[in-house]
Chains A and B, each alone.
Chain A
Amino acid sequence: MDFKKMIAFRKTVCWMVVGCGCLAAQVQAEKLASFWGTSEQESPYYRIVDVPVPDEIVLEAGSFDLLPDGRLGIGTRRGDIYLVEGAFDDPPNPRYHRFASGLDEVTSLSWHNGSFYITQQTEVTKVTDLNGDERADEFLTLSDVWGFANYHEFGFGSKVDPDGNIWVTLCLSRSYESLVPFRGWSLKVSIDGNTSPVASGIRSPCGVGPNAQGVMFYAESQGPWNGSCSLKQLKQGGFMGHPVSFNWYDLAPEMGPAPVEPNTRSRMEMERERVKELVPYAVVFPYRRMGQQLSGFSLDTTKGAFGPFEDQIFIGDYTLSILMRATTEEVNGVWQGACYPFREGFATGLLANQFTPKGQLIVGGTNRGWPVRGPKPFALERVEWTGETPFEIKEINARPDGFLVTFTKPVDADSAGTAETFQLESFTHVYQQGYGSPEVDQTNPKVTSVTLSSDKTSALLSVSGLVKGHVHSFDLSNLKSADGEALVHAHAYYTLNEIPEHTHR
Chain B
Amino acid sequence: MNSVYFLVQQTMFFSIPLLVVALGGMFSERGGVVNIALEGIMIMGAFASIFVISVLQDTMQGQLLLIIAILVAVAAGMIFSLFHAYASINMKANQVISGTALNMFAPAFATFVARTIQVTKSINFNNTFRIESVPLLGDIPVLGQLFFQNTYLTTFLGIAILIVSAFVLNKTKFGLRLRACGEHPQAADSVGINVYRMRYAGVLLSGALAGLGGLIFVIPTSTNFNATVSGYGFLALAVLIFGQWKPKRIIIAAFFFGFMKTLASAYTGIEFLSNLGISSYLYKMIPYIATLLVLALTSKKSQAPRASGIPYDKGLR
- Real complex partners, A and B? no
B positions within 8 Å CB-CB of A:
none
